[in-house]
Structure formats: structure tokens, C-alpha cells
Amino acid sequence: AMAEEAKKLAAYAAVDNHIQNNQVVGVGSGSTIVYAVDRLAERVRQEKLNIVCVPTSFQARQLILQHGLSLSDLDRHPDLDVAIDGADEVDDSLTLIKGGGGCLTQEKIVAGCAKHFIVIADFRKDSTALGQQWKKGVPVEVVPMAYVPVSRAITRRFGGEAVLRMAVSKAGPVVTDNSNFILDWKFEHVQNWKEVNTAIKMIPVAPIAGIDIRVQLSKRRVQLQAQQLILR
């Protein structure tokens, strides 16, 4: 389908343009990154690249192992050259919503350890304002015992509704790779995402908001690979 082709084209372009030899690469999670890892593995084989990969989820770790790529972690490689990942939505100032795949926490940690953060977002993710295309809200990872107080703190302060993400192939809530729960915060109109991101992070028991703010990533080039080739 057109969307899959767009994801693949964007992922291939991102890997071809932003991954070089002798790099430590943070590997994101989701479905777009599958194409990126396919292409990375192809390049490693063809160009005999020396690449070390740090995963952001069980899924990413499986992808790295399945492709025979060199697996590492933040203990051995706390300084990454580049992290490459997907996103659920991107606005005009490159503020992202991430966490649709439930992997936002390790993604955010690994991206924070990288000099450059490459976001692969095909045309479907490209919005002028968050919430335009992505209707599932902002994922917020929480310690399970705190999901009710955190949910109330968010909705009291910023309105909307924060809903516990329930599993599909398992009874009960989704449990993340960090053994936490996820609240999907169906926000209304948000003026200042930086303020919201900071406020959510300040709620006791340290919930993690699936918002990447350009200002946080200003130290590293945030390169949005919005793929329009298909629509040309």
C-alpha cells in the first residue's frame, strides 16, 4: 500500500543519508524502524560497515539480533552518535508525539544519549498541530501504582482525559518493557508543549511523557524525514 511504500522510502532515505561507518546507533521501535533496520543491515553487509546498535525495546533488540547486527547497550556505549526512530505525529516546529508503540521511555533515554536524533515520519505523520492526524492522545508511561493520581493530575491541570491503555492480546492493561503502565492522554487544545512536557515530568512518581520537544533536542540536529516521494 502507499503508506507502507512511503514508510519504506522514508526509512531507506534516513539510513542512507544519516548513518555512517564506525557509528554507535540507537535503534528505535515501531513499524517504520523495521524498514530502517532492513536497510541498515543491507548497508553493513554491502559496505562492510562497523556499526554497533543499542535497542530501545524488546522489539528493537529482536530486530538487531535477527539481522545479525552488533548488539550493545548503554552500559558499554552511553555516548551514541545517532539515534534513529519513528514517531506518531510531528508538528511544524518538529514537536513529536511518540509512544504509539508503547516504547517511549527507552526511546527517549537512548535519543537523549545520542548526538543526532533522526526521526523517520512519512507524510501521514506530518501535521501543522499535534492532534490533527494522531487521535490517540499523548502516551504517558507511569509506575502502575500511580496511574490514577497521575491521570487526575494531568486532567486537572490540562483538561482532556487520560485513559489507561488496555492490552489486546492479554487481559488487563498494557505492560511496557519497563513493567509500567501507559496512560493515553486525549488532550484538548495545547498552547505550549514545552510547558506541558515539563509539568507532566514534574508530577510525583516521574511519569514519562511521549513528547519530544525540539528545544530538548536543540543540542542535536532533529532531522525530519517526511517522505513525499510517493505523492510527487
Q: Residues 21, 5, 169, 99: is their CA dihedral positive or negative?
A: positive
**Which span sits near ligand DER by CB under 6 A: 28-36, 69-77, 181-189, 218-226?**
28-36
Q: Which of 158, 162, 224, 163 is nearest to 197 (CA)?
A: 158
Q: Is 85 in the site for ligand DER (CB under 6 A)?
A: yes
Marked catalytic residue, from 5, 107, 141, 195: 107
Applying CB under 6 A, the span of 36-44, 79-87, 147-155, 199-207 interacting with ligand DER comes to 79-87
Active site residue 42: no
Among 26, 55, 101, 207, binds ligand DER (CB under 6 A): 101
127 lies in the binding site for ligand DER (CB under 6 A): no
- How many residues touch ligand DER (CB under 6 A)? 16
Which residue is at the shortest CB distance from ligand DER?
30
Q: Is residue 55 at the binding interface for ligand DER, with CB under 6 A as the rule?
A: no
Around Cβ 12, how many Cβ atoms within 10 Å?
20
Shortest reach from residue 117's CB to ligand DER, in Å: 12
Task: Please name the amino acid found at residue 144.
Answer: P
Toward ligand DER, which CB reaches closer, 28 or 146? 28
Q: How far apart are CA 209 and CA 154, in angstroms?
A: 11
What are 187's three cell numbers?
488532550
Query: Is 207 an interacting residue with respect to ligand DER (CB under 6 A)?
Result: no
Among 8, 12, 19, 32, interactor with ligand DER by CB under 6 A: 32
Candidates 2, 231, 13; CA nearest to 120 is 13
Q: Which stretch binds ligand DER (CB under 6 A): 12-20, 75-83, 94-102, 199-207?
A: 94-102
Query: Of these, 15, 23, 27, 29, which contacts ligand DER (CB under 6 A)?
Result: 29
| Residue in 26, 55, 100, 137 binding ligand DER, rule: CB under 6 A | 100
CB of 50 to ligand DER, least distance (A): 26
- Confirm or reject binding of residue 26 to ligand DER (CB under 6 A): no
The residues assigned a catalytic role are: 107
Q: Which residues contribute to the site for ligand DER (CB under 6 A)?
A: 28-32, 85-88, 98-101, 103-104, 107
